C-alpha cells in the first residue's frame, strides 16, 4: 500500500453507462499550490477562490501554517492568506510532512534553500521514492546546502542561512517543478536566475509571479527573474483542473451516447496536450465561452462520444499532457488501430511508474498494451472485466474507473485512497455524471 494510513479504498465500477450533464471538476492543483506559496510571501492579504481542497494542496497549506503564516479556510474553495512578506517566514518546530505531493516538495525546496532557518521535508512511501537530485543539483549550484538520502530521494534536509546567487541553468528534462523551484530560489538570489527548458512546460509560476507584481522575463525557452523583488497580494480565481477534467473527457469520448459539458476548465496553452491528442484521435471536443480568469485562460468543454482511432502521439505534446497519459492510455485501448507513445520516460517517475502500472492494468483487462522504456504501444480492442492495482496513484485509479464505461464486466481497482490527493469528491461526481462506482473502505 502506498499511503501510510492503515485503511485504504477499493473502487468497484460496474460495466456500462454514458456521461451526461454539466459538471465542474475541482480546482487546478498546480495553481492552488502556487497561490498558497506566493500568497504567503506577499505583502497584504491574498483571497483565493476555487482552491483545490485535496490532500496535496492541504499539505502545502499546512507547511506554510507551520512556518507562521495565518491562513483562513479552505471553506468552499475560499482561502485567505495573510502574507508575511519575502522575509517573514518562521522556522517550523517540526519537519514538514508533504504526503504524496511532489510539487510541494520540489517547489518548497527552492524557497527553503533561501530561508535563514533549517528545514526537513518528508513524504509518504511514494514521495520517498521520487528523484530529488533534479532540484538539489541546480540548487547547490546556486549556493544552497541541501541533503537527500544516498540515492537522491527524500527526506530533504535544507540548511538555512545560505547566500544564494543566480545561475543560468539548462534543464536536462522538461519539468515545471524544477523550473519553478529554481525561479522561487531565484527570488532570493543575488543577480539573475535563468532557466532554459528543452520543451515548453506549464507556466503557472511565471504567470502568477507576474500577477503578484514580480517581473519575469521570457526569451524563447528561457525564463529569468532578478532576486530581491517583492510580491504584492492579489485575488486568485483558480480554474477547474484540466487534469481532473481529463477523466470525464476520456469517459465521454469512449462511452457511446455521452454528451457532457465540463465547466470553467483551465486551458492554459501549456496544459492542453490532452485536447490536442484526443482531437488527433478523432474525439469530438468543443471549447465554448473562452475567457480569462485571474491571468489564466478558461473555457467550458463539451465532449460527445465518437469513434477514436489510434495515432502516433507527437512528442512535442508529451510535456503538455504529462499528467494525462493514464487516461489517454484508456482512450487508446478503445481506439481502432495502434497508438504509439514515445519520449515520455518522465512517466516512470510520477506518483507511480505510470508506464508499467498502466500496462499491467490494461493487460489484466485483456488489452494488448506493450510498455517500452519511454512510452507504450497499445492496440485498441475490447476492454474486459477484472481487477487492477492502482499502486496508490490517484490518476491511475480514476482512469480505470472510466474504462468501466466500456468494459465487458465490472472492474475492481485497489489502493485508491490517494484519489483524495487531487480529486476529493470524485466518486460522487462520477456517479452524478453517469458512472456506477462504489468506494469501499478496507
Instruction: Give strand pairing partners of 259.
Output: 20, 304
CB of 301 closer than 8 Å to CB of 285: yes
Nearer to ligand S3P, 176 or 402 (CB): 176
> Interface mask (CB under 6 A) for ligand S3P, residues 202-241, using x and -?
x---------------------------------------
Least separation in angstroms between residue 29's CB and ligand S3P is 7
Among 180, 317, 390, 421, binds ligand S3P (CB under 6 A): 180
Least separation in angstroms between residue 201's CB and ligand S3P is 6
Nearer to ligand S3P, 202 or 391 (CB): 202
Q: Looking at 45-53, 172-180, 276-284, 305-313, which segment touches ligand S3P (CB under 6 A)?
A: 172-180
Specify burial of residue 280 (Cβ count, 10 A radius: 0-12, 13-18, 19+): middle
Q: CA separation (Å) from 221 to 34, 170, 268? A: 21, 10, 17
Within residues 312-331, the interface with ligand S3P by CB under 6 A covers 322-323
Residue 98 gets the label, from left (phi > 0), alpha (psi -120 to 50) or beta, of alpha
Please name the residues in contact with 224: beta carbons below 8 A apart, sequence gap of 6 or more.
186, 192, 193, 194, 195, 216, 217, 218
Least separation in angstroms between residue 395's CB and ligand S3P is 9
Among 47, 120, 259, 346, binds ligand S3P (CB under 6 A): 346
> CA 138 to CA 145: how far, in whole Å?
11
> CA 39 to CA 233: how far, in whole Å?
6
Within residues 27-56, the interface with ligand S3P by CB under 6 A covers 30
Nearer to ligand S3P, 13 or 209 (CB): 209
Q: Looking at 169-177, 212-220, 279-287, 293-301, which segment touches ligand S3P (CB under 6 A)?
A: 169-177
Within residues 106-135, the interface with ligand S3P by CB under 6 A covers none
Nearer to ligand S3P, 175 or 418 (CB): 175
Least separation in angstroms between residue 106's CB and ligand S3P is 7
Peptide bond preceding 136 in cis form (omega within 30 of 0): no
Least separation in angstroms between residue 61's CB and ligand S3P is 15
Nearer to ligand S3P, 162 or 212 (CB): 212
Q: Looking at 57-65, 176-184, 265-273, 333-341, which segment touches ligand S3P (CB under 6 A)?
A: 176-184
Nearer to ligand S3P, 176 or 223 (CB): 176
Least separation in angstroms between residue 134's CB and ligand S3P is 8
CB atoms closer than 10 angstroms to residue 307: 14
Least separation in angstroms between residue 59's CB and ligand S3P is 13
Nearer to ligand S3P, 10 or 51 (CB): 51
Nearer to ligand S3P, 60 or 258 (CB): 60
Quick check: 177 binds ligand S3P (CB under 6 A)?
A: yes
Torsion of CA 155, 158, 159, 163, to 10 degrees: 160
Query: Strand 338-341 vs strand 375-379: parallel, antiparallel, or unpaired?
Result: antiparallel
Three-state secondary structure of 195-211 = EECCCCCCCHHHHHHHH
Among 103, 234, 268, 420, binds ligand S3P (CB under 6 A): 103
Q: Give the rounded distance of the alpha carbon of 292 from its chain centre.
A: 21
CB of 326 closer than 8 Å to CB of 358: yes
Least separation in angstroms between residue 51's CB and ligand S3P is 14
Among 59, 63, 176, 333, binds ligand S3P (CB under 6 A): 176
> CA 57 to CA 98: how far, in whole Å?
9
State yes or no: is 137 an active-site residue. no
**Binding-site residue total for ligand S3P (CB under 6 A)?**
10
CB of 442 closer than 8 Å to CB of 412: no
Q: Give the rounded distance of the alpha carbon of 235 from its chain centre.
A: 22
> CA 41 to CA 15: how far, in whole Å?
48
The candidate with the shortest Cα–Cα distance to 104, out of 123, 79, 126, is 123
Which is catalytic among the residues 124, 323, 389, 415? 323
| Active-site amino acid positions | 323
**Residues within the interface to ligand S3P (CB under 6 A):** 30, 103, 175-177, 180, 202, 322-323, 346
Amino acid at each position: 500500500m502506498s499511503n501510510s494510513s492503515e485503511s485504504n479504498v477499493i473502487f468497484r465500477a460496474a460495466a456500462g453507462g454514458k456521461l451526461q450533464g454539466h459538471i465542474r471538476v475541482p480546482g487546478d492543483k498546480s495553481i492552488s499550490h502556487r497561490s498558497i506559496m506566493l500568497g504567503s510571501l506577499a505583502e497584504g492579504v491574498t483571497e483565493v477562490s476555487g482552491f483545490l481542497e485535496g490532500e496535496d494542496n492541504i499539505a502545502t497549506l499546512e507547511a506554510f501554517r507551520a512556518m507562521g503564516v495565518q491562513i483562513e479556510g479552505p471553506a468552499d474553495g475560499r482561502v485567505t492568506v495573510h502574507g508575511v512578506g519575502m522575509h517573514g517566514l518562521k522556522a517550523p518546530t517540526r519537519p514538514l510532512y508533504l504526503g504524496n505531493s511532489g510539487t510541494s516538495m520540489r517547489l518548497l525546496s527552492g524557497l527553503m534553500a533561501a530561508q535563514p532557518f533549517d528545514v526537513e521535508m518528508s513524504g509518504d512511501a511514494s514521495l520517498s521514492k521520487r528523484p530529488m537530485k533534479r532540484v538539489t543539483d541546480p540548487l547547490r549550484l546556486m549556493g544552497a546546502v541541501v541533503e537527500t538520502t544516498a540515492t537522491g530521494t527524500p527526506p530533504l534536509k535544507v540548511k538555512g542561512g545560505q547566500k544564494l546567487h543566480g545561475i543560468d541553468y539548462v534543464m536536462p528534462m522538461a519539468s515545471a517543478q524544477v523550473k519553478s523551484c529554481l525561479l522561487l530560489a531565484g527570488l532570493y538570489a543575488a543577480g539573475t536566475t535563468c532557466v532554459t527548458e528543452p520543451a515548453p512546460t506549464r507556466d503557472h509560476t511565471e504567470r502568477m509571479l507576474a500577477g503578484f507584481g514580480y517581473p519575469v522575463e521570457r526569451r524563447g525557452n528561457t525564463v529569468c527573474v532578478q532576486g530581491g523583488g517583492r510580491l504584492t497580494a492579489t485575488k486568485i480565481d483558480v480554474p477547474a483542473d484540466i487534469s481532473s477534467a481529463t477523466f470525464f473527457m476520456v469517459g465521454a469520448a469512449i462511452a457511446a451516447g455521452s454528451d457532457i459539458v465540463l465547466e470553467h476548465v483551465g486551458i492554459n496553452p501549456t496544459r492542453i496536450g490532452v485536447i490536442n491528442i484526443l482531437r488527433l484521435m478523432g474525439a469530438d471536443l468543443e471549447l465554448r465561452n473562452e475567457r480569462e480568469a485571474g491571468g489564466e485562460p478558461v473555457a467550458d468543454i463539451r465532449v460527445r462520444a465518437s469513434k477514436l482511432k489510434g495515432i502516433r502521439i507527437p512528442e512535442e505534446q508529451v510535456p503538455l499532457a504529462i499528467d494525462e497519459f493514464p487516461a489517454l492510455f484508456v482512450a487508446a485501448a478503445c481506439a481502432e488501430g495502434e497508438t504509439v507513445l514515445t519520449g515520455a520516460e518522465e512517466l516512470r517517475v510520477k506518483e507511480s511508474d505510470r508506464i508499467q502500472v498502466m500496462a499491467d492494468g490494461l493487460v489484466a483487462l485483456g488489452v494488448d498494451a506493450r510498455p517500452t522504456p519511454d512510452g507504450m504501444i497499445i492496440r485498441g480492442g475490447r476492454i474486459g472485466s477484472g481487477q487492477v492495482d492502482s499502486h496508490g496513484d490517484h490518476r491511475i485509479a480514476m482512469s480505470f474507473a472510466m474504462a468501466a464505461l466500456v468494459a465487458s464486466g465490472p472492474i475492481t481497482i485497489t489502493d485508491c485512497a490517494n484519489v483524495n490527493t487531487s480529486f476529493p469528491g470524485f466518486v460522487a461526481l462520477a456517479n452524478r455524471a453517469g458512472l456506477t462506482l462504489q468506494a469501499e473502505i478496507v
